[in-house]
Amino acid sequence: MKLQFKIALFLSVMLVLVVGGIGFMTFGYLERTLETQMGNNAMDLAVTVAAMPEIREALAAQNGDGTIQARVEDFRKQTRFQYIIVMDMSGIQYSYPSENLLGERYRNGGEEQVLSTGEAYVSADRNELISAIRAFAPVYANGHQVGAVLVGLLTDTVYKEVGTQIRNLETTLVVWLLVGILGAAILSLNIKRTIFGLEPKEIALLLGQRDIILQSLNNGVLTIDNSGKILLFNKLAKDILGLSPEDVGKPLSDYSDVYAQQMLRTLDSKETILNQEIRLSPGKTILCSHTPLRDHRGEFIGVVSNIQDLTQVKLMAEELTGYQKMTNALRAQNHEFMNKLHTISGLIQLEAYEEAEEYISEVSDQRERMSGVINDRIENTHVSAILLAKYNRATEAKIDMEIDPASYLNRLPDQITEDELCSVLGNLIENAIDELVKMEGGEIYVSITSDEEALEVIVSDNGPGIREDLANKIFERGVTTKDGSRGYGLSIVKEIIDEAGGIIELDNESGAEWRITIPYEGGRALDYD
């Protein structure tokens, strides 16, 4: 049986039981109330008849000349009761609706108690012929009981009198039942439409398929509802974000990491955020996109996040970029040496041997100083490669680049990778070169030092510095001092430093001087061949 009909049938049966139960209790209560009311009315009339002086006197004198019959019947005809019987202590009837039974003993029973104890009471007389409510009241004269009065009311007559009200009640209950059944049918249809006409088995199948698809995705998936509570996530998202099944249903605001805050921004703005690279921890980077979810009516119902683990990709990229940096350094070095060889060749052809010797000595000393600092003081091949590449690039651009001889690097803070440090150095030195290439006598100074507490990097130049109108917003994406550039370099530098828990400061008095400090938290010793 289909779900729609199951729901409609179940609700209809429940309505029949409820309405039937209500009707049963109502009619039962009505019957009891009517019988109680009839009994009370019958007792009132019986007491009234028993108190009539002529009745008491006639019974006391045992006068059966018809006086009681006439008086009682005249009185009864003015009421709704079917019979009023007056009897003496022997049960002889002095009044009865049928005169041919006068003088005979009352034969229907029930009068024994009133005659023997003088107690007034109400009883039911239900037999094959009639069903009636009877009230018995004693009759007293001169302080002694001389008989009793019986007043009877047929229940069928009363039910006929209230038949209209009973039929109205029955009609009302039937109408309620029909309306309820119609409502059950409409509700079942609405439920069916809400679940897109699917049956429970189909829903279970779809849920199973959804779970299989989620778990088989190469990317992590996490979903929150429109109140920010976690709805579901697949195994990959669980492993990447370090979640557990207990996290389902928890507000995402309980998590203070950058990923959670970024997803909550999508929840607030209801706008898509694409391809955001987030560093969850040292050596663990993800690429994520957050997309608002809307139902078939277009109403906002939550946010789904697509997560890609870039950790392995970053490791391979670092290795490749390390080779690339070395290649670029060698290419620039080769180009520089070719220029110097051409210079030496020209001096020799001009027979300026002393000048050639001095030039060779100057180049050799300069190269030895630079090589000594890079090879002996910087114990990281990636950092050495980027410094050498930028040194050669600066030399090509006729810019004097000096690496502080006191520089020393033997370990990195846990919070930053060698590739990230290379990115910081590369962006700052490249920016300096771009500014100084426009002027004569450009100088760049680089210092890298590490002590027990922190890693400090200084990159300065003697250029014009950062314009005052850009100084306060230079780290924002899209802000740049160069024409046609997108302005991402310094924003990337700032993100790397912030995620590493470091500080970057700008001294803009005489050129641009960038000072970066990154604290050590159990820094990683460097061991490279």
pLDDT tens-digit series, residues 465-480: 887 777 677 777 655 5
Q: What percent of the chain has pLDDT over 70?
A: 79
Q: Do domains 3-161 and 204-309 have the same CATH topology?
A: yes
With bands split at pLDDT 50, 70 and 90, how would you rate the model's confidence at 484? very low
Q: Is the pLDDT of residue 499 over 50?
A: yes
Q: Superfamily for 313-525? A: Histidine kinase-like ATPase, C-terminal domain (3.30.565.10)
Name the residue among 484, 435, 487 with its Cα closest to residue 464: 435
Q: Where are the domains of the chain?
A: 3-161, 204-309, 313-525
Distance in angstroms (rounded) separating the CA atoms of residues 400 and 391: 8
Q: Is the pLDDT of residue 337 over 80?
A: no
CA atoms 378, 383, 384, 390: torsion sign: negative
Long-range contacts of 172-177 (CB under 8 A, 24+ apart): 173/19, 173/22, 173/23, 173/26, 176/19, 177/15, 177/16, 177/19
Distance in angstroms (rounded) separating the CA atoms of residues 11 and 184: 6
- Give the pLDDT score at 477: 64
Q: Superfamily for 204-309? A: PAS domain (3.30.450.20)
- Give the pLDDT score at 5: 73
Q: What is the mean pLDDT of residues 425-429?
A: 90
- Give the pLDDT score at 416: 86
Q: What is the mean pLDDT of residues 24-33?
A: 80
Q: Superfamily for 3-161? A: PAS domain (3.30.450.20)
Q: What are the pLDDT digits (tens) for 344-396?
A: 677 677 777 677 777 676 666 666 666 767 877 888 888 888 888 888 888 88
With bands split at pLDDT 50, 70 and 90, how would you rate the model's confidence at 274? confident
- Give the pLDDT score at 515: 93
- Give the pLDDT score at 66: 73
Give Cβ neighbours of residue 14 (< 8 Å, ≥ 6 apart): none
Mean pLDDT value across the chain: 80
Phi and psi at residue 104, in whole multiples of 5°?
-95, 160
> What's this model's pTM, rounded to 2 decimal places?
0.44
Give Cβ neighbours of residue 276 (< 8 Å, ≥ 6 apart): 262, 287, 288, 289, 290
Collapsing DSSP states into helix, strand and coil, what is residue 65?
Answer: coil
**Amino acid (one-letter) located at 419:** D
With bands split at pLDDT 50, 70 and 90, how would you rate the model's confidence at 193? confident
CA angle centred on 126, ends 122 and 129, rounded to 5°: 135
Per the model's pLDDT, the better-predicted residue between 330 and 25 turns out to be 25
Distance in angstroms (rounded) separating the CA atoms of residues 394 and 290: 41
Q: What are the pLDDT digits (tens) for 230-261?
A: 988 888 888 888 888 888 889 988 887 788 88
Q: What is the crossing angle of helices 311-349 and 381-396, to 10°?
A: 40
Residue with tokens 């609706």: 97
DSSP 409: B
Q: What are the pLDDT digits (tens) for 432-467?
A: 988 898 888 899 999 999 888 899 999 999 988 887
Distance in angstroms (rounded) separating the CA atoms of residues 59 and 83: 19
Q: Residue 147 has which token pair?
A: 């008989």
3-state helix, strand, coil in the chain (%, to 5): 50, 25, 25
Choose the weakest-confidence range: 22-36, 60-74, 160-174, 498-512. Answer: 160-174
